[in-house]
Structures are given as structure tokens and as C-alpha cells.
Amino acid sequence: MLLIDWIVVAIYFAVIIFIGMKYYKRASSNLEEYFISGRKLTWWIAGTSMVATTFAADTPLAVTGLTLNRGISGNWLWWSMALTSMLTVIFFSKMWRRSGIMTDVEFAELRYSGKPAAFLRGFRALYLGIPINVIIMGGFVTVAMIKIIQYMLFDGQPLSIEYKLLIVGGAFVIAGLYSIVSGLWGVVITDFVQFFLAMIGSIALAVISVDKAGGLSKMTAKISQTRPDLLSFFPDPGSALFITVAVYLTVQWWASWYPGAEPGGGGYAAQRMFSCKDEKHSFLSSLWFTIAHYAVRPWPWIITALAAFVLIPGVADKEAMYPMMIARYMPAGLKGLMLTAFLAAYMSTITTHLNWGASYVVNDFYKRFIRKDRDDKHYVLVSRLVTLGLMLLSAIPAILFDSIKDAWLYILTIGAGTGMVLILRWFWHRINAYSEISAMLSSLIVSTVLIVVKKVYGLSFSKYGPLDDSITLAVTVGITTIVWITVTLLTKPESPEKLTAFFNKVRPAGVMFRPQTADGYKSKTRLMPLVIQWILGCLMVYSFLFGTGMILLSRMEYGSFIGIGLLVFGAFLFRFIAKKADA
């Protein structure tokens, strides 16, 4: 890192602090401005903010680890979630905007009634807003940033706890400053800038890495001679990885709660949809996010990982190979740009999670149960204090966790089995607050017991680690599903009046689960056209993803064929959307 590199970093900090201060007054006016930007966001701002949030400092490192340990096909751990994301686009994006609520946790009292609904809202607010949110911020986002700084500034030397605390503290102070000051306005505007910085840095590193490896053709030829499995988009049938991917595609995408890819939407993705100016912008923002997140962003990271396999073989910590490539091959000036890109990726995620978590704690717990009658200035002040508290708590998992992948898998596992409840609650009148409560508790208890037993007693379902993780997830899903379905059938549905008010407000499609409501609710939108849109949308995203990858890896004939499929699927999708604009 030379002087020119530090100048690039300093300019970036000056710009984001300026943006944060610019939106201070606007964010201070009320909670809607602070947490959902006054419902005035356009789709490209909201959608890009979602992409920037998921483009965290941990993501390139985790993708590098997955690619080098399991091959390109190892990325199905998160590629499978494109099915979930497109489900949100087609079925839920407009309904979230119609709901008129501020957080997805507030949905509990929109859909259910009485003390169970109030308990569910308060419990989810604290559970997701504090421990889960803190693990995400500290456990993988900040751990990744520590690794990046370790290899870029300290030549990969192990860092003491004191140094880790110093890095975490400095990063949080900068990220927290404009999040606390400017609310979601500052977050989304800086996200827009940060996304393009992060993409430019990632692409620059991929181009330089390939050049150092001798070009794409030579690089892929070398890999084919030693580890041909690294270049495979799909695992070999019958292999343990094939079974693992099968679990991802048949179970994980609809069963597991995961930030940014929640079945039925939710989390900060729902927050961005609430923030859009209307239903159309909500729909387009989630569509742009799905395309950019799954089809546009991955390949610079994957290409860099493949180049690292050729250039720096034999490194035990595969996740660390990404920042090692930056330290070894990025020239002066561009190295500063790359550090800036990582800081941008890190801050976009941290600030979103700080604002999102604070919205739960303040709107759905403090304002709902503690202080119901205070003015907007009071709630904005409390929001800023809660944001600061979340920032401090996140330092704990940042010190405790070493592997980004382990934190990813932990979050996926403890949310396993809750996904189907989050989907069906929009359509099936039998779902009630007890359904969600039992699903959350069952998933948490079963997954924790399995994880502890495996750690303490060395129990494993399989000697192949990824398959063992998938079986753990599938077992948790199975037990949790039995529990919540049993609870649902043994408890009463909501009253006809409550169901009528809910269904008439959000207007879900289909008549598969027609509730016995007070006025006989009937949907104006048929379910099957939406199912077709969802299938076409998924085919479009995967065609884009694999077509781009095959072209980059010099498989032009396959890439071109898939590219044509992309245009066909996209054309049919948008034709359906145009015909069913009111869906």
C-alpha cells in the first residue's frame, strides 16, 4: 500500500461521510424516513441497494473457498437460492408493498391477532434483530474484513485479539457513523456508489489474475490436467457432492430462512420493497436484485479463485487466497481501489444490517411494547442508540468466528424448516401465530442439539463434510415441518374478520387455499400464470449465469446456446408480466 493507495481510500471515506451528513435532517424527521426512506425509492436505487448489501466483504472469500474446495458446482449452496428470490419477485414483491407496514416482523399483527400475534412480533424482533443480526455482522462480514486487512496490510501474519479489536473498532466507527446519522437514506445512496466500486474492483482483479495465469485458455488447460472437477458447473451423478446439491435444490431453497433469500421475502429485502414508491417499483427492484445477485456478480470472484489455484497452490485456508491475490498482484493505485472496494462492500452490508436490526428493535419491540406514545424525535434518537448498541455487540462474534463458511452454514441450519410457513401464511387460512412460533422454536432447538451433539460426541451423518451439513439441514427440516403442521392442525385459524381484512389488503393470488372469510374472499389473479412466470424467471437467471460462465471459460458453443435460451425465457417472462400487470 503506497501513498496513492491511501489517497484513494481517503477520497472514498470523504464521499460517504458527505452523503451521510447530507441526509441527516431528512432522516431525523420521523421513523418512516429513517427506516424506509419515506417510501420514495425508485427500483434501481432499492434493487442496487439489495445487491450491494449481499455483496459483503465475506462473499468473495466464501465463494473462493467453495470454488477451490468443491469446484464451481460448490456454489450451488447459494445458487439454489435463486429459486427463492424469484419466488419473491413473482409472488410476494407487490404484496409486501401493499401491506403498508414498516418491517416484515410487523406482518405478525397484520396477519394474526391477540396475544400470540403480539408475542410472535416481539420475539421475532428481538431474536432476528439482535443475536441473529449480530452473528451475521460479526460472524462472517467482519471476519472477512479482518482477513482482507490481515493479508493486504500484515502480509498474512496472525493477528492478536488487540489488533482484531482495533480493526473491528475502526471499521464499525466509520460504517456506523453514516448509518446512525442518515438512516436508510444514507445507506441506500451510499450502497449505489459502493456497488459499482466493488464490481469495478472485482473485475479488475479478475482481469489481472487471468493475465498473470497466462490467459483464460492456458489457465483452464492447467486446471483440467490437475483438478478438472473445479471447472464443472454440476457435480458428477452419484458423488457425495451431487447428493448435497440435490438437497439444496429440493429442500434448502424453500425450507431455510436466510437473510436476503427468505422464502416469502422478508428481512432487508422486504425493507427495500416497503421503501419503494409503488408496487411496480417494488417488483422491478426485486427482479433487478435477483438478476444482478445470481447472474452478474459471481464470475469475477470465481475466475479469480481459479487463477489463484494456478498461481498460489498449496494454501490451506482457501478463503484467504482471494486477499492474497490482491496483495501479490494488484499494482499501486489499483491496490488502494481494491481495498476501497472491499470497504465499500463491507460498509454496505454492515449499515444495512444496523439499520434493519434497529428497525426491528425500535418499531416492533420498543415502540410496540415499551413506549407507545412518544414523538418521532424520541423514536429516531432511540433508533440511533440501538444502532450503536448493535454495532458494539457485533464485535463479539467477529473475535470468536474464524471461518466464514461455518457462520453461513450455522445461520442456514438454525432457520431450516421455517420457510414453508413463511410462504403458506400468505395463502392458507389455517396458518396462525402458533404455526410460526412452533416452527422457529423447533428449528432452533433441533439444529442446536444436532450441532452440539456432533461437536461434543463426534457424531456425523457422513464423512463428507458438505453432505453431512446437508443431512443435518434435512433432518432439521423434517422434524420442524412435522411439528409446525401438527401445531397448526391442533389450533384454530384466525377469525373470518381478521382473514378478510388481511386477504383484501394484500390480495394474494390463487384459490388453492380459499379461506372461510366473512365475505367470501375471491382473488382476481389466477395462480397458474404466476407459477409459469416463476419457472421462466428461474430459467432466465440460470441461463444468464451459466451462459456467461461458459463464454468466460471458453465454451463458446454452449455459452451461445444458453444465451439464446436466456433471450427466449426472458421474452416469455416479460410477455406474461405485461399481460398480468395487476398480478
pLDDT confidence of residue 581: 45
Phi, psi of 518 (to 5 degrees): -60, -35
For residue 21, the tally of other CB atoms under 10 A from its CB is 14
Q: Where are the domains of the chain?
A: 1-20+43-90+124-229+280-401, 525-583
Biggest CA–CA distance in the chain, Å, is: 71
CATH class for the region spanning 1-20+43-90+124-229+280-401: mainly alpha
pLDDT confidence of residue 553: 82
Closest to 287 in 3D by CA, of 583, 574, 95 = 574
Average pLDDT over residues 50-55: 85
| Amino acid identity for residue 122 in this structure | G
Rounded Cα distance between 61 and 68, Å, is 11
Phi, psi of 41 (to 5 degrees): -75, 145
Using the predicted structure, report yes or no on whether residue 176 has a pLDDT greater than 70. no
pLDDT confidence of residue 409: 65
* H or E segment to which residue 484 belongs: helix 465-490
Rounded Cα distance between 164 and 429, Å, is 50
Q: Where do runs of H (alpha helix) occur along 330-418?
A: 334-361, 376-393, 395-400, 404-414
pTM of the model: 0.86
C-alpha cell belonging to residue 499: 382473514
Is there a contact between 20 and 178 (Cβ–Cβ < 8 Å)? Answer: yes
Using the predicted structure, report yes or no on whether residue 171 has a pLDDT greater than 70. no
Share of the chain above pLDDT 90, in %: 29
Percent of residues in the chain assigned helix, strand, coil, to nearest 5:
80, 0, 20
Of 67-81, 170-184, 269-283, 349-363, give the lowest mean pLDDT range. Answer: 170-184
Phi, psi of 416 (to 5 degrees): -70, 135
C-alpha cell belonging to residue 95: 404484496
C-alpha cell belonging to residue 143: 471476519
Of 133-137, 151-155, 361-365, 560-564, give the lowest mean pLDDT range. Answer: 560-564
pLDDT confidence of residue 159: 65
Average pLDDT along the chain:
82
**What per-residue string of b and e applies to 242-278 under the rule 16 or more CB within 10 Å gives b?**
ebbbebbeebbbbbbbbbbbbbbbbbbbbbbbbbbbe
Which residues are CB-neighbours of 22 under 8 A, at least 6 positions away? 182, 186
Q: Tell which wins on pLDDT, 404 or 140.
A: 140
Burial class (CB in 10 A: 0-12, 13-18, 19+), 458: exposed
Using the predicted structure, report yes or no on whether residue 452 has a pLDDT greater than 90. no
pLDDT confidence of residue 399: 64
Q: What angle do CA 143, 146, 151 make, to 5 degrees?
A: 130
Which residues are CB-neighbours of 23 under 8 A, at least 6 positions away? 181, 182, 183, 185, 186, 189
Residue 452 CA, distance from chain mean position:
26
